[in-house]
Structure 1
Amino acid sequence: MSAFARWLKKEGTGVMRGIQTLNQLSRRCYAATRIVPLTEPLGSPKSSKAIACPPQDVQVSKLPSGLVVASLENYSPVSKIGVFVKAGSRYEPLENLGVTHLLRLSGNLTTKGVSAFKITRGLEVLGSTLSVTSTREHMIYSLDFLRNDFDAVVEYLADVTTAFEFRPWEVSELTSRVKIEKAVAEQCAQTSVLEMLHQAAYKNALSNSLYCPDYRVGKISGDNMREFVENNYKSARMALVGVGIKHSALRQVAEQYIDVHHGTGTPGDKAVYRGGELRVQNGDTLSHSLLACEGAASGTAEANAFSLLQHLLGVGPQVKRGSGITSKLSQGIAKATTQPFDATAFNISYSDSGLFGLYTVAQAGSANEVIKAAVAQVDAVAKGAVSEQDLVRAKSQLKTEYLMVLESSEGLLEEIGAQASSSGAYSSPDAVAKAIDSVTSSDVINAAKKFVNSKKTMASRGNLVNTPYVDEL
């Protein structure tokens, strides 16, 4: 979400509150006219017959072309639909780096069937919201809309995902937006250092940035974008996902609108982990560092072990505005320095690889002590310092975190889409919880040993005068 969008959302909150206040006032005035004298007996309330809505499970089907359709009917008055395409930045060829950044910004441009103005105006009239996001593996196009407007909005979604036009003058206007997004990302130390970590960790594929390289800004043409779309936006690489929609209706939309470009497209390269180090010295007073090893691919038992190790070490405060002092990382580092610091473990899983490691933020003078103390905590786990109580706590935190993500329609859509796109199936929350519970302390210890013994990657930014190099850890 852009800064302007966040501001607009914030400003709009006040307007909505005013509207809600007026609505409540009218209800109160209406209620005030229905005065019943206390001397009259109260009649028994009339029983209302509620329409039974049987609970539904996620349904997944696959068309002959390879297009996956997944849906969950939850009877919500607001529905959400998304198209997931295996066309993230990892699929960019070297001669076309940065193209997915422009695709992310071109979601509302003129298509072969409808103008940019009509897309914006049409969705605005319906009160619908179009979002285009990207990861290193997927381009995601999603629509939020009122349930009764399903037939009206699906054509817009089909246009922006299957009928690209890329008019030269509209593409050229994206350059300023690319520069703004890059500037914002570079100012965020966490985003910047995470991009550096991927660049250092991999030889190809996952090393590609989510943002357009500086030397490519303003040089990506509509032909470059069209070539990438023709090679990757194929039915076999897509998943159509809906929340609050009947599966039969969603499948009909897939067959009528989305299932138009058959084939498998250009296969992506398998990610090759290499390890390495990148450092950026600047005038900041803090040192931001990420230290990682190759983790595990998503959906594997090893990935669950790394996730538990992450929560065992600490993922940040569990109490709002808290310090997270109960985590192993915080307790260990607090013994090594009296300077303020922040330390969390992270675990990122992709379809064929992953990154597990530690993220530390420290004052320049104490960076060495903070990083080494954090590494010592992982080393202690690798040597068996895992109690049953610690393991139970980590499992509870991980399951709660996963289930809370599914509480929002956005999180639910992304989880269903990620699973359907990668495996063509969906694992229920119960199945995921059982998989987490099946992880043993030995599995967690082995994950810690992998971090301690394997080749590491490090990315650092800020005042690095006292930040150790990766070969010193």
Structure 2
Amino acid sequence: MHPVAEKRRPFSGDIMLAAGAQRGLHSSSRCFTTAAAAQASALPAISEGASTAGGWLSKLFGGSSRLSIPLTDPLPGVDLPRPDAVPSTAPSTETLALSNGVTIASEATPGPTATLGLYINSGSVYEEPYETGCSHLLEYMAFKTTANRTYFRLTREVESIGAQILASASREQMAYNIDVPKPNVADAVEILVDSVTNPKFLAWEVKDAVAKMKGDIATVKDNPQTVLLEGLHEVAYTGGLAKPMICPEGALGNLTADRLGEFVQRNYTASRMVLSGAGVQQKELTNLAQPLLDSLPQAAKEGSPKSEYVGGDFRQFSPSPMTHAMLAFEYPGGWNDVKGSTAVTVLQFLLGGGGSFSAGGPGKGMHSRLYRRVLNQYEWVHNCTAFSSLYNDSGLVGIFISTDRARSGQSFDIITKELQATAQGVTNEELERAKRAAIASVYMNLESRAVVAEDIGRQILTYGHRKPITEFINHIEKLTVKDISELVSKMVKKPPTVAVLGDVATVPRYAQIAGRFS
């Protein structure tokens, strides 16, 4: 997988992973009689092991007889379905490239449900200036009216097969997912492919989606991390990665059905698309999807638009009682440097951090450097967390901090000191703890079907194939204290990128911050 997942978002540009949603079971009847109760009432009388003791509540609960069979024993006369056999070895990922360039890949994970995903090399980095916000809008327009289905019909079909649908946009990739019980995989594949390859983009649906986007964009302003991350990319890069992922309010008026259709037609081509599945056999998935995907136009495979890291300064005033800031540096290799991106992931676990009111306990990072050296030392620091946003060929690595407004000027004193101290060296104990946490995160995340499906799709788009998990684990195991020190030392030699939200007047100037790393 993109070496290690933490749950994301997919982190979008962060470590590429995602989390599955839990389903509740609801009775379709308004009375209290359930199917299980009806089945139990039809069973023959059970005399063995039954107790005839009554009690003053016996009439209330249906009589004097009650079973005394232990809960660990099956009820006589009730045939339960046998669970799927757990394979003795982990299932492998199988892939097939169609003649037009679409890749179909799957892993037959055990369990009652399957997750399917269509992943496309398309995102905000591919937008022209007049298309700003198209990728963001496509997330809202997913699973709407198609050339073959009305939105109402599509919704009813999704409900009838017990499926859950989800779409997410990022800077370099789009993802469309459907989670469904295995007997309904055929219907799910057809709905998924139809929704992605045959969208209608009706004018009134686009108008409604834009209106909803406008409301959501307004709420984003209340999320300091999102505001700073957008600002960070804007000043850190020139080129594709400098383009906004969240549509600016001023660009909403340019988003029309025709413009959205042109963007999809240009970018949703066969060679940039992967259909992935977890919990479904490769042969079954291929037989279902190939007739639906063969008609997609073949186009030359294009690389991602180029981006150049330059560093910079983003500042936005806010009357908030706290000041929020980010300090980041480029990691130039991105996901394509597997060894280096794995080291970045371990570095993030090593620095760790969190909020001052985070729940503690094993695995919560309470022994990470930022927790011990910052959150436990300064009561006016409300949050101090290491972060990374990695892309195919580049990435940003740094620290996010929130402090009392009166202490705004000291925030960069703390995080610059921590990065410099990490460059000078960490202890073997700290590194081993971070390595164990990273490995545990990988394995635990891959227990989720949704993560497996996403991992398959995104890795094939990035590397052309899915790398074995052992490759990432081996890179983690081989990391040394010297490797971490050299990684940070090289990063801080580049121009920093600074983003501040809050009391910007008392925060040191960009030249002062950059001078500390000279």
Q: Residue 180 of structure 1 aligns to a residue in which SS?
A: helix
**Is 2:467 the partner of 1:423?**
no
Match of 1:165 among 159, 178, 200: 200
**Per-residue deviation at 1:324?**
5.2
**Per-residue deviation at 1:239?**
0.6
- The residue number in structure 2 matching 1:4 is none
**Is 2:314 the partner of 1:278?**
yes
Alignment of 1:3-42 (within 5 A): 34-37=46-49
Deviations 1:342-371 (A, max 9, x none): 111112211011010011011112233233
**Per-residue deviation at 1:192?**
1.3
**Per-residue deviation at 1:472?**
2.1
Distance 1:145 1:248 in 2: 18
- The residue number in structure 2 matching 1:5 is none
Alignment of 1:205-216 (within 5 A): 205-216=240-251
- The residue number in structure 2 matching 1:330 is 371
Deviates more, 1:413-422 or 1:326-335: 326-335
Distance 1:209 1:199 in 2: 7
**Is 2:450 the partner of 1:410?**
yes
Distance 2:277 2:83 in 1: 25
**Is 2:155 the partner of 1:120?**
yes
Q: Residues 346 and 357 of structure 1 are in contact (CA less than 8 Å); yes or no, is this contact kept in structure 2?
A: yes
Q: Residue 495 of structure 2 aligns to a residue in which SS?
A: coil
The residue identity in structure 2 corresponding to 1:279 is R
The residue identity in structure 2 corresponding to 1:34 is I
**Per-residue deviation at 1:315?**
4.2
Deviations 1:14-43 (A, max 9, x none): 967x9999677678878995341499xxx9
**Per-residue deviation at 1:212?**
1.6
**Is 2:479 the partner of 1:467?**
no
Q: CA distance change for structure 1 residues 67 and 365 in 2, over 3 Å: closer, same or farther?
A: same
**Per-residue deviation at 1:433?**
1.0
**Is 2:477 the partner of 1:448?**
no
Match of 1:342 among 372, 376, 383: 383
**Per-residue deviation at 1:417?**
1.3
**Per-residue deviation at 1:13?**
5.6
**Per-residue deviation at 1:87?**
0.7
The residue identity in structure 2 corresponding to 1:206 is L
Alignment of 1:154-303 (within 5 A): 154-259=189-294, 260-264=296-300, 267-295=303-331, 296-299=333-336, 300-303=338-341
**Per-residue deviation at 1:331?**
2.9
The residue identity in structure 2 corresponding to 1:427 is K
Distance 1:304 1:21 in 2: 54
The residue identity in structure 2 corresponding to 1:355 is L
Q: Residues 302 and 443 of structure 1 are in contact (CA less than 8 Å); yes or no, is this contact kept in structure 2?
A: no
**Is 2:371 the partner of 1:371?**
no
Q: Which has the larger radius of gyration?
A: 2
The residue identity in structure 2 corresponding to 1:347 is S
Q: Residues 231 and 265 of structure 1 are in contact (CA less than 8 Å); yes or no, is this contact kept in structure 2?
A: no
The residue identity in structure 2 corresponding to 1:391 is L
Deviations 1:159-180 (A, max 9, x none): 1111122222322222211102
Q: Residue 218 of structure 1 aligns to a residue in which SS?
A: helix
Fraction of identical pairs, as percent: 27
Q: CA distance change for structure 1 residues 218 and 337 in 2, over 3 Å: closer, same or farther?
A: same
Match of 2:477 among 420, 434, 437: 437
Q: Residue 203 of structure 1 aligns to a residue in which SS?
A: strand
Matched pairs, number: 462
- The residue number in structure 2 matching 1:6 is none
Q: Residues 236 and 309 of structure 2 are in contact (CA less than 8 Å); yes or no, is this contact kept in structure 1?
A: yes
Alignment of 1:342-361 (within 5 A): 342-361=383-402
Q: Residue 504 of structure 2 aligns to a residue in which SS?
A: coil
The residue identity in structure 2 corresponding to 1:249 is E
The residue identity in structure 1 corresponding to 2:344 is F
Q: Residues 129 and 145 of structure 1 are in contact (CA less than 8 Å); yes or no, is this contact kept in structure 2?
A: yes
Q: CA distance change for structure 1 residues 15 and 123 in 2, over 3 Å: closer, same or farther?
A: closer
**Is 2:116 the partner of 1:78?**
no
Q: Residue 221 of structure 2 aligns to a residue in which SS?
A: helix
Q: CA distance change for structure 1 residues 273 and 51 in 2, over 3 Å: closer, same or farther?
A: closer
Q: Residues 332 and 373 of structure 1 are in contact (CA less than 8 Å); yes or no, is this contact kept in structure 2?
A: no
TM-score by length of 2: 0.81
Deviates more, 1:453-462 or 1:214-223: 214-223
Q: Residues 118 and 177 of structure 2 are in contact (CA less than 8 Å); yes or no, is this contact kept in structure 1?
A: yes
The residue identity in structure 1 corresponding to 2:390 is S
Q: Residues 232 and 266 of structure 1 are in contact (CA less than 8 Å); yes or no, is this contact kept in structure 2?
A: no
Q: Residues 85 and 233 of structure 1 are in contact (CA less than 8 Å); yes or no, is this contact kept in structure 2?
A: yes
Q: CA distance change for structure 1 residues 340 and 352 in 2, over 3 Å: closer, same or farther?
A: closer
**Per-residue deviation at 1:143?**
0.8
Q: CA distance change for structure 1 residues 266 and 415 in 2, over 3 Å: closer, same or farther?
A: closer
Deviates more, 1:245-254 or 1:321-330: 321-330
Deviates more, 1:306-315 or 1:325-334: 325-334
- The residue number in structure 2 matching 1:308 is 346
Please provide the CA RMSD for this pair.
Answer: 3.3
Q: Residues 59 and 247 of structure 1 are in contact (CA less than 8 Å); yes or no, is this contact kept in structure 2?
A: yes
Q: Residues 364 and 464 of structure 1 are in contact (CA less than 8 Å); yes or no, is this contact kept in structure 2?
A: no
Q: Residues 172 and 218 of structure 1 are in contact (CA less than 8 Å); yes or no, is this contact kept in structure 2?
A: no
**Per-residue deviation at 1:341?**
2.5
Q: Residues 287 and 467 of structure 1 are in contact (CA less than 8 Å); yes or no, is this contact kept in structure 2?
A: no
Q: Residue 506 of structure 2 aligns to a residue in which SS?
A: coil
Q: Residue 119 of structure 2 aligns to a residue in which SS?
A: strand
**Per-residue deviation at 1:253?**
3.2
TM-score by length of 1: 0.88
Match of 1:149 among 184, 192, 198: 184
Deviations 1:295-333 (A, max 9, x none): 131142111222222221114379961395532123333
Q: Residues 312 and 497 of structure 2 are in contact (CA less than 8 Å); yes or no, is this contact kept in structure 1?
A: yes
The residue identity in structure 1 corresponding to 2:319 is G
Distance 2:175 2:185 in 1: 19
Distance 1:429 1:340 in 2: 37
**Per-residue deviation at 1:153?**
2.1
Q: Residues 312 and 390 of structure 1 are in contact (CA less than 8 Å); yes or no, is this contact kept in structure 2?
A: yes
Q: Residues 88 and 135 of structure 1 are in contact (CA less than 8 Å); yes or no, is this contact kept in structure 2?
A: yes
Structure 1, gaps ≥5 residues long? 2-8
Distance 1:327 1:51 in 2: 40
**Per-residue deviation at 1:339?**
1.9
Q: Which has the higher helix share?
A: 1
The residue identity in structure 2 corresponding to 1:66 is G
